[in-house]
Structure formats: structure tokens, C-alpha cells
């Protein structure tokens, strides 16, 4: 390493990948004894035991170095049944077990979202999958929640609101939390209370009841009604492209998980995105026009919802490591077909990017890590023109700070937006087919806004106006916004009513100077 000069003079023939790979006689690079079973990174062969230690260490290090999860905090593990999230649940289970050296100290719960309806599963298949899922959930001792995607039709509009949280994730706050947790633990121990994971005994009992009562609204909210299933299928069938379908599914799923987290006061959600998946997501999202939100979409933590933070503790593990770990240590997972199962490689942007990244990775083994390291360096600063802090306008669907510059009408997008608002309302109404609900039903006070209700025909452009660039592009693949779940349309209407009221108030404000007007506004 120190002989930089020499290297330049005569580049030594490096042991490049095409050269003979470590053969059968080779030993594990770590312990130099065991028989290697898996090659991670270029050429590093690990034996079974060293691989396990390496894998577990990575998971703990990821949580340890970020210091985001406070001891005693409720954390919701988003489990899809797939390999990465299953591995994550097992890592948490292992981390919480008595015999692990440095125990994890948060309080986990698991959520499973049944997406069978949109992935073409029959009712019998779904029941079979659910039975498998529940069997696994019962074998782990966490409280769990099984929800079906159909439940998006009964979500409240408040899901789409940003809830600010004043708790700063600073080093000091973390240390204080650790101290108070330890004190609490001591106190409990003094009382002789048998504390398992930082919960007061009463609280723990409550969690248990939740998980074991299959009829309670908290765990398994009954099977969805046929009407809801049909509505969901209609929505997905109306989407013209697989790309938009995939995005819509991701969005609805994240709203549902957010709702479960908020309803049960979980302040963190852990997802099982692996580094391979994140590298693919980064490239996909760039192609989808979500470049402005890459840091949220692929970073370790995602604070877009405010009160619930999404963290991705598996982001250091490659899919290969995950698959090997699950195989070697018998981590159970449930395979369910996805929307793109058996689709050809060019069926969607997601699919295409996945094939692209995998193919590059096969030829250049550091592709994934290079792309993924880039995602680590991305900052979350919004564009200057939209830098209005957490109170700034947010995309109705993905809840990211809006990246649309309304003033910039010279761009193709500006033209498109103005074209939309110039369409006669009657056509739009017919097109959207939005039922004209009286505005008081949505949330306004009595006699709320006769004016706003009169403008209801504009709901399609209303919704579109509240979306970020990428979500607008996706919604173009929906011929009508009508089949969208009601909470989205209701929140859109609420937001535009609020905007109108604001506008109306503005008219009555006495503007002495520009300065003063601004202060009243804020």
C-alpha cells in the first residue's frame, strides 16, 4: 500500500477475477481453518461459522453506528415473507435473545401485508399463504399485525399528513434515552419484576393479548370483503403499465404500514431492503423522476412522515448473503408471487433496472456496492425554492417535499399542468366521475365553503397539482383517478379547500407593505 510510486512504474499483475478462483483446497479467509462455503465480495471465501458472525456483526453495526433506535422504543418490522425481511426479523429475534452478547433493547412488532389480491392469487392461495404466514408469526414471540391491502379502502385521510415530531435524534438525546432506560431497568429489577424487553409488565400483557386474539381488530382484521377486493382489483386493472402498477402498490403498502405504525404507536418501521435491492431502487427511481428524493427512498433512515421513521438495517447485506444465510441457517420465509412474477425483462422500469444491475454485477462485482455507496452520500436538502421546512407543501402520495416549481411554466411539465387546468370542468368531471360529496362530510364546518364545493368538478387537476413530478408521471397511467381509495381523494379535496380558504382570507387582508403581508401569511 505504501509503495505507491512503484505501483505506478510497473502495475503488478493483480489477482483479477478471471484468474483461478479460490479452489476447493482453499480455507476460510477469516479463521484459516474451516471449509469455505460462500464467496462474498470478490474472492473472500468464508466458512459457515465465520459467515454467520460476519452477517450478524453487519446487522448490529448498522444499528449501532446510526444510533437511531432508542432503547425501549417500539419498532415495527415490515415483513413481506421474502428473504431479506425474513432475515431481518430473525436477526432481531437473535439480537433480543438472552444469550446474545449485546442485546438489542427495542420492542419489536411485526406487520405483514397480504397483497394477494393484486398479485393474481386466488382466495384459496391467499388462505394457504396466510396460514403459512401465521404459523411463522406464531413461532416468533413478537406481537404481530396481519393486514390485507384491501384495507386501504378504509384508511383515514390523515394518513397522508405529515406529523412533525420534536424529538431530535441527536447524540445527546440518544445518550439520555439510554441512561433513563438503564435506570428504569434497575428500578424494575429492584422491584423484582421480571422484565423481558423493557416494557412495564402491564404493557407487555397488553401486547400479548393483541397478538393472540385472532379476532381482534389489531392483529387480523378479518378477511376483506368481496367488494373491497373487487375495488382493489379494478383499480389495479385500470393501470396501464406495470411500472405504474408497481409504484402504486408500493405507495399503498407504505401508507398501510404507516397507518398500522401510527395506530399502535410504533415510532420506527424497519424494512428489509438489501443493498442489492437498494442499488436497483436507486437506478429505478432516477429513471422514474424521483431523483430529488433518492436520499429518502434509499438512505438508512427516512423521516418523511415525521412521527414514524423508516429505517433500513439490512442495507449492508447483499441479496446473495441473505440467500446464503437463510439457506445455511434455515430462516423460514414465505414465497408469494409479486405483480411482476414471470414478467419479461422489459415489462417495467423496475424489471429492466433489476436485470441491468444484475448483469453488470455479474461482470463487475463491485457494481452494487458502488451504486449503493453513492446512495449513502446523498443529502436530504430540498431544492432552494421549496425549502420551506417541514411545513412546506408535500406530495399527496409519496409525502416528499414537493419538487414542482409552479412558476416554471416554460418546461414541458409546466405546459402539461397548465393544459390540465384549462380543460373545461365538465369534461373533467365526466372523466373523473368523482361523486360530488357535500364538503361538510369531508371535514369542513357547517356552511363551510359554498365556493369550494362549486369547484369540485376540478378534482382530477386538484389531485395532480398536489403531486410531485414522479407521482404525476405515474398517475398519467391511470385513465381515471376515481378507483383510487377514498382517503386519497378526500385528503386532496381537503387540501385544496384549505388552499381556497387561505386564498379567500388573503383577499380581506389589508396589505400595507410586502413585508407585513408575509408575516400575516406565516
Residues of the shown chain interacting with another protein in the complex, contacts defined by CB under 8 A: 21-24, 26, 35-39, 45, 83, 276-277, 319-320, 322-324, 327-328, 335, 337-345, 350-351, 354-355, 358-359, 361-362
User: Alpha-carbon distance 30 to 515, whole Å?
Assistant: 66
- Considering the complex, what minimum distance in angstroms separates the CB of residue 6 from another protein? 31
For the chain, what is the largest distance between any 2 Cα atoms, rounded to a whole number of angstroms? 85
- What is the rounded CA–CA span in Å between residue 32 and residue 22? 13
Nearer to another protein, 83 or 108 (CB): 83
Closer residue to another protein in complex, CB, 21/373: 21
Q: How far is the CB of 470 from another protein (least distance, A)?
A: 19
Least CB distance from residue 282 to another protein, whole Å? 15
- C-alpha gyration radius of the chain: 26
Residues in the chain: 522
Q: Which helix (H) or strand (E) holds 420?
A: helix 412-422
Are 354 and 280 in contact by the 8 Å Cβ rule? The answer is: yes
Q: Which is nearer to another protein, 25 or 445 (CB)?
A: 25
- Nearest approach in angstroms of CB 140 to another protein is 21
Minimum separation from the CB atom of position 15 to another protein (A): 14
With beta carbons less than 8 A apart as the criterion, state whether 81 and 112 touch. Answer: yes
When the beta carbons of 175 and 327 are compared against another protein, the nearer one is 327
Cα angle 370-376-381, degrees, rounded to a multiple of 5: 135
Helix (H) or strand (E) holding 123: helix 123-139
Nearer to another protein, 28 or 309 (CB): 28
Closest distance between another protein and the C-beta of residue 362, in Å? Answer: 4
- Cell reading at 151: 384495507
Backbone angles phi, psi at 47, to 5 degrees: -85, 175
Closer to another protein by Cβ: residue 108 or 116: 116
Between the alpha carbon of residue 516 and those of residues 478, 509, 522, the distances in Å are: 43, 10, 10
Indicate the pairing of strand 309-311 with strand 301-302: antiparallel
CB of residue 144 vs another protein: minimum separation in angstroms? Answer: 24
Question: Under DSSP, is residue 113 helix (H, G, I), strand (E, B) or coil?
Answer: strand
Q: Which is nearer to another protein, 281 or 465 (CB)?
A: 281
- Helices marked H in 224-274: 226-238, 242-263
Rounded Cα distance between 154 and 44, Å, is: 50
CB of 245 to another protein, least distance (A): 12
| Complex with another protein: residue 245 or 495, whichever CB lies closer | 245
Amino acid at each position: 500500500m505504501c509503495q505507491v510510486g512503484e505501483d505506478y512504474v510497473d502495475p503488478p499483475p493483480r489477482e483479477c477475477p478471471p484468474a483461478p478462483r479460490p479452489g476447493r483446497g482453499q480455507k476460510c479467509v477469516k479463521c484459516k481453518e474451516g471449509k469455505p462455503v460462500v464467496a462474498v465480495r470478490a474472492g473472500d471465501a468464508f466458512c459457515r461459522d465465520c459467515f454467520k458472525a460476519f452477517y450478524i456483526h453487519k446487522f448490529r453495526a448498522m444499528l449501532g453506528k446510526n444510533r437511531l433506535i432508542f432503547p425501549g422504543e417500539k419498532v415495527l418490522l415490515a415483513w413481506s415473507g421474502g428473504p431479506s425481511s425474513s432475515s431481518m426479523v430473525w436477526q432481531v429475534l437473535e439480537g433480543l435473545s438472552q444469550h446474545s452478547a449485546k442485546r438489542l433493547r427495542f420492542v419489536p412488532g411485526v406487520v405483514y401485508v397480504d397483497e394477494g389480491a393484486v398479485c393474481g392469487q386466488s382466495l384459496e392461495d391467499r388462505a394457504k399463504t396466510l396460514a403459512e404466514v401465521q404459523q411463522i408469526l406464531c413461532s416468533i414471540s413478537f406481537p404481530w399485525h396481519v393486514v390485507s391491502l384491501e384495507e386501504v379502502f378504509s384508511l383515514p385521510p390523515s394518513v397522508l399528513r405529515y406529523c412533525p415530531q420534536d424529538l431530535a435524534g441527536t447524540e445527546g438525546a440518544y445518550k439520555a434515552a439510554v441512561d433513563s432506560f438503564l435506570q428504569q431497568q434497575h428500578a424494575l429489577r429492584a422491584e423484582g419484576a421480571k422484565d423481558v424487553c423493557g416494557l412495564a409488565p402491564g404493557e407487555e400483557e397488553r401486547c400479548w393479548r393483541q397478538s393472540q386474539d385472532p379476532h381482534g381488530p389489531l392483529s387480523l382484521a378479518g378477511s376483506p370483503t368481496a367488494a373491497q377486493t373487487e375495488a382493489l382489483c379494478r383499480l389495479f386493472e385500470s393501470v396501464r403499465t406495470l411500472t405504474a402498477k408497481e409504484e402504486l402498490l408500493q405507495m399503498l403498502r407504505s401508507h398501510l404500514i404507516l397507518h398500522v405504525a401510527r395506530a399502535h404507536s410504533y415510532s420506527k418501521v424497519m424494512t428489509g431492503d438489501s443493498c442489492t435491492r437498494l442499488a436497483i431502487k436507486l437506478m429505478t427511481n432516477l429513471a422514474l423522476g424521483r431523483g430529488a428524493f433518492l436520499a429518502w427512498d434509499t438512505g438508512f433512515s427516512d423521516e418523511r412522515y415525521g412521527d414514524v421513521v423508516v429505517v433500513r438495517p439490512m442495507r449492508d447485506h447483499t441479496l446473495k448473503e441473505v440467500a446464503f444465510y437463510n439457506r445455511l441457517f434455515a430462516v423460514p420465509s414465505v414465497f408469494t408471487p409479486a405483480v411482476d412474477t414471470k414478467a419479461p425483462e422489459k415489462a417495467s422500469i423496475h424489471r429492466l433496472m433489476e436485470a441491468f444491475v444484475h448483469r453488470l454485477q455479474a461482470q463487475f462485482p463491485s457494481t452494487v456496492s458502488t451504486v449503493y455507496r453513492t446512495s449513502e452520500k446523498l443529502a436530504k436538502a430540498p431544492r432552494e425554492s421549496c425549502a420551506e421546512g417541514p411545513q412546506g407543501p408535500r406530495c399527496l402520495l409519496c409525502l416528499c417535499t414537493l419538487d414542482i416549481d409552479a412558476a416554471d411554466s416554460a418546461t414541458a411539465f409546466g405546459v402539461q399542468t397548465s393544459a390540465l387546468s384549462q380543460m373545461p370542468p365538465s369534461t373533467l368531471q365526466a372523466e373523473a366521475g368523482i361523486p360530488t360529496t357535500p364538503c361538510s362530510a369531508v371535514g369542513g364546518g357547517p356552511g363551510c365553503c359554498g365556493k369550494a364545493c362549486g369547484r369540485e368538478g376540478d378534482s382530477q387537476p386538484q389531485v395532480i397539482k398536489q403531486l410531485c413530478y414522479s407521482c404525476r408521471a405515474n398517475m398519467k397511467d391511470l385513465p381515471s383517478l376515481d378507483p383510487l381509495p377514498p382517503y386519497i381523494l378526500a385528503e386532496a379535496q381537503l387540501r385544496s379547500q384549505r388552499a381556497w380558504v387561505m386564498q379567500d382570507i388573503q383577499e380581506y387582508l389589508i396589505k400595507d407593505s410586502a413585508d407585513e403581508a408575509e408575516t400575516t401569511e406565516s
